Amino acid sequence: PSTLKQLGQTTLKTPTQFKKEKKKGEIDLGLSTARGRGRCKNPSCDYMYKNRHKPAMCPKCGYELTQKNAKAAKSETLLDPYQALSPAQKDIQRQNTLQLLRSSLQIPESDTELQETLTLIQELNSLQIVLVQPGDQEQENNVETETLVESGWPQFYESAATHCGLCNYPLFKGGQSTVAGQEDCWLLTETLMQTASLQLKVCLNVQCLALHSFTDLHPGLFNIGNRLLVSIDLFLKIRANIKQGHLSFCFFVSVHALTPDESFHIQELLLSGYWAFECLTVRDYNDMICGICGFAPKLEIAQRYTNNVLELKHVEFTWPEVSVSDEVHVDDFWLTMESEAIEQAAFPTDIPITRVDASIIAPFTPPLMRSATVINTEKDKLLPHVQPPSGDPSVLVRLIHDGQLRLDKIEDHSEDELRTVLDRCGVNIPPGSNKLLASLISLYTLVHSGLSTTPQPPAQLTAGKLSKVCPHKVVCASKYLVRGETARDHVDLLLSSRYWPPVYVCDCARQVALCADMQYPELATQMWGRNQGCFSDPFEKPEFVSCAELQDQPYSADLSLVAENQQIHPITKSSSCWLVHPPGAAQEPPAPEHHSLFLCKDLEPYIKKSDDCSSVSCARKQPMVFNNTAYYYLYNRLVDFLTSRDIVSQQINQVVKACQPGEVVIRDALYRLGVAQINTEKEEDEGSGMEEQIQEEGTETYEVVLPE
């Protein structure tokens, strides 16, 4: 068997042939029949056709209807359940079983929607069934009895389905000598651990073969690879612990008397089951968008997590050998991670991902905050062993910006001109050196590739996570780094956002500005002209400024503001942007004062350090080292979502408390929280049916007049 599972190098195809053929059968009319009715030749199908033409394939079960030899057709399309599956059939079964799980098992995220199930779990945990039966010994007038105490949980589970959930073919169930027999498994709840049996069923369509097992959520159990049934309240407690920064599964298992091997095996199954449970949970990631900032924050703050990493002991990141696009496909990447987690839970013996094309790794961003084009240019970073040349990159960028240095016509510059450029950049070149051009190209390449912003990670670990958050600690986007962080990563994250924030706060503002100037000169010119992200010319004395764009703007819900133009911010109505340092940020080498947050009086409200939510800080900053690729990315996405959504929930609760009778909380055109007042009385003088009112603290009220 192969021990290599590769992601990103080859095109992964999900077998859907049976779907395509079924669709073809629905539109392809076959041979003519006598007047009257015909019936599908599949004994388990009741489809009847009434028209003069019968379909080539039954639209209900997919059975071939135009085949002359019915027996031959049946043998070709129906599985012999008493024969072992071939490797190719096992692969088809695996892919379609995963598709079946995704389509049939959709778990609500809200505890409220699961309340009935959680109540049933508690009842079954506390229920004990007492059985009294005669004993072995009998006396003259007394009969010895034995008392057996059993839990309220059943010991046998079976899917209620009789036909395939994908292709509607009949399902087969049998004994141990078939492809769908009974499996012995563990049943784990908070209070007990017992053995149970599962009856498997398999689709007889050889193009499907989907495995149907017990997946009904109503009893409150989640099936992990037909080896472990877990009550879902345990998963909800794991989720609550993750919000607090703890990822541990052993405390559920330690209460039961198990051998070390059994305990380890159960924990492994519990881990894979939990991530599959989260991947099958229905979420709207727009719910985590800040209710005050909406999807267009005026200020965003960079945060890095170098202790949240993936261990490279069991996974290898590869880089494309040929030029590939910078664009990454966000939905495809996350769907692949989810499918991998579900597969590891459904088929525990499958090997995890061992090789990943690093150029396909996508950031996590709520859909409404995402740019139409998302990029990851980490493949273009300089290798860590490259020795950085001397020189001031800011001067180099200014010379290029002013046209005094044209690298596309470098041969037109004389030796004296090149030496002058290098002298102005502070590059030490000995007199008579013949390496002027090489030194200049080396400095340019370093700046264009992205100046380093953190030390390189250890060889056996990835570089962690880079996030940007709004002033209310809500995550706007996160990028997962393989190589050491550089200014390029910040630019990638900013360009992948729907709007580049007017103010971006990071401890490497100078490097990020220079990287943007070099890679996207036209965009940089629109945002800050010649100022390299500063409030004023970085080669002049720093000035205290006031930026009209950053002053509080009157609230407006005009939908025209939500234009798909990333260069015009819907709040400031301007393309001006600044890159600034947070107060007290340490920087090596020292950063110019021109990037200081203190230089703009309109940013004074942000200078006072806001109180960091303890639970948010703990969860996001908790050191984590993963050895499973899918779990690493899924964990980070989940933490970003849960911690941000908790903050948004608090915002919503505050607005709800301020609501008057007849008012409801809404999201406006920029996805900020507002209040809508429902008025059932139709007023003649209100043509549009909506009026806007402004309340304190940015809470918006709309008067909505409903028609009679």
Same domain, yes or no: 308 and 252: no
Return the residue matching tokens 């996590």: 364
| Confidence band, pLDDT 50/70/90 cuts, at residue 491 | very high
**Is a pLDDT exceeding 70 seen at residue 20?**
no
Residue 708's CB is within 10 A of a number of other CB atoms, namely 6
Same domain, yes or no: 403 and 354: no
The answer to whether the peptide bond before residue 582 is cis (omega within 30 degrees of 0) is no
Domain count, the chain: 5
Has residue 157 been placed in a domain? yes
Same domain, yes or no: 299 and 329: yes
Same domain, yes or no: 488 and 563: yes
Pseudo-torsion of CA 320, 455, 475, 275, nearest 10°? 60
pLDDT value, residue 593: 84
**Is a pLDDT exceeding 60 seen at residue 693?**
no
Has residue 539 been placed in a domain? yes
Query: Dihedral of CA 159/160/162/165: which sign?
Result: negative
Same domain, yes or no: 163 and 223: yes
**Is a pLDDT exceeding 80 seen at residue 668?**
yes
Question: Tokens representing 142?
Answer: 């007394």
- Higher-confidence residue of 294 and 608: namely 294
* Helix (H) or strand (E) run with residue 135 in it: strand 128-138
**Cβ neighbours for 16, distance < 8 A, ≥ 6 positions apart:** 99
- Choosing from 645, 671, 692, the residue where a domain stops is 645
Asked if residues 365 and 117 have their Cβ atoms less than 8 Å apart, the reply is no
Has residue 685 been placed in a domain? yes
Query: 582: burial class by Cβ within 10 Å (0-12, 13-18, 19+)?
Result: middle
| Confidence band, pLDDT 50/70/90 cuts, at residue 74 | very low
- Higher-confidence residue of 289 and 254: namely 289
pLDDT value, residue 506: 95
Same domain, yes or no: 29 and 53: yes
Mean of pLDDT values over 80-95: 93
Per residue in 573-591, pLDDT (tens digit) is: 899 999 999 876 655 555 5
Mean of pLDDT values over 76-102: 92
Which amino acid is located at 415 in the chain?
E
pLDDT value, residue 19: 40
Half-sphere exposure of 218 (CA within 13 A, CB side): 5
Same domain, yes or no: 539 and 597: yes
**Cα 524 from Cα 527, distance rounded (Å):** 5
pTM: 0.84
- Higher-confidence residue of 193 and 250: namely 193
pLDDT value, residue 141: 54
- Higher-confidence residue of 456 and 20: namely 456
Pseudo-torsion of CA 231, 234, 236, 240, nearest 10°? 180
- Least confident range from 43-47, 126-130, 180-184: namely 43-47
- Higher-confidence residue of 263 and 309: namely 309
Same domain, yes or no: 584 and 487: yes
pLDDT value, residue 386: 64
Question: Tokens representing 678?
Answer: 């429902």
pLDDT value, residue 708: 33
**% residues pLDDT > 70 (the chain):** 78
**Is a pLDDT exceeding 80 seen at residue 42?**
no
Candidate ranges 13-17, 640-644, 701-705; pick with highest mean pLDDT: 640-644
Asked if residues 196 and 229 have their Cβ atoms less than 8 Å apart, the reply is yes
Has residue 140 been placed in a domain? no
- Choosing from 77, 95, 116, the residue where a domain stops is 77
| Confidence band, pLDDT 50/70/90 cuts, at residue 187 | very high
- Choosing from 616, 645, 674, the residue where a domain stops is 645
Same domain, yes or no: 265 and 194: yes
Query: Dihedral of CA 364/370/374/378: which sign?
Result: negative
Residue 553's CB is within 10 A of a number of other CB atoms, namely 13
pLDDT value, residue 679: 72
| Confidence band, pLDDT 50/70/90 cuts, at residue 164 | very high
**% residues pLDDT > 90 (the chain):** 54
pLDDT value, residue 345: 96
Report the largest interatomic distance among the alpha carbons of the chain, rounded to a whole angstrom.
122
Has residue 651 been placed in a domain? no
Summary mean pLDDT of the chain: 83
**Cα 58 from Cα 42, distance rounded (Å):** 9
Asked if residues 216 and 222 have their Cβ atoms less than 8 Å apart, the reply is no
**Is a pLDDT exceeding 70 seen at residue 301?**
yes
Mean of pLDDT values over 361-369: 97
Per residue in 114-128, pLDDT (tens digit) is: 999 999 999 998 887
Same domain, yes or no: 591 and 671: no
**Is a pLDDT exceeding 90 seen at residue 328?**
yes
Domain that holds residue 664: 659-705
DSSP 184-208: EEEEE-SS-EEEEEEE-EEE-BTTT
Same domain, yes or no: 600 and 493: yes
Q: Which residues of 363-375 are buried (b: 16+ CB within 10 A; e: fewer)?
A: bbbbebbbbeebb
**Cα 516 from Cα 509, distance rounded (Å):** 11
**Is a pLDDT exceeding 60 seen at residue 303?**
yes
Q: Which residues lie across from 486 on neighbouring strands? A: 452
**Is a pLDDT exceeding 50 seen at residue 69?**
no
**Is a pLDDT exceeding 50 seen at residue 18?**
no
Has residue 653 been placed in a domain? no
**Is a pLDDT exceeding 80 seen at residue 389?**
no
Has residue 580 been placed in a domain? yes
pLDDT value, residue 21: 40
**Cα 620 from Cα 640, distance rounded (Å):** 8
**Cα 665 from Cα 125, distance rounded (Å):** 39
Residue 497 DSSP class: B
Return the residue matching tokens 């489809």: 47
Axis-axis angle for helices 415-424, 393-401 (nearest 10):
130
| Confidence band, pLDDT 50/70/90 cuts, at residue 51 | low
pLDDT value, residue 1: 38
Same domain, yes or no: 330 and 201: no
Q: Which residues of 474-506 are buried (b: 16+ CB within 10 A; e: fewer)?
A: bbbbbbbbbbbbbbbbbbbbbbbbbbbbbbbbb
Per residue in 606-624, pLDDT (tens digit) is: 876 544 555 566 677 888 9
DSSP 60-102: TT--BSS-S-HHHHHHHHB--TTSPPPHHHHHHHHHHHHHHHH
Q: Would you call 584 helix, strand, or coil by DSSP?
A: coil
Per residue in 213-258, pLDDT (tens digit) is: 999 988 999 999 999 999 999 999 999 999 888 877 666 666 567 7
Has residue 200 been placed in a domain? yes
- Higher-confidence residue of 563 and 659: namely 659
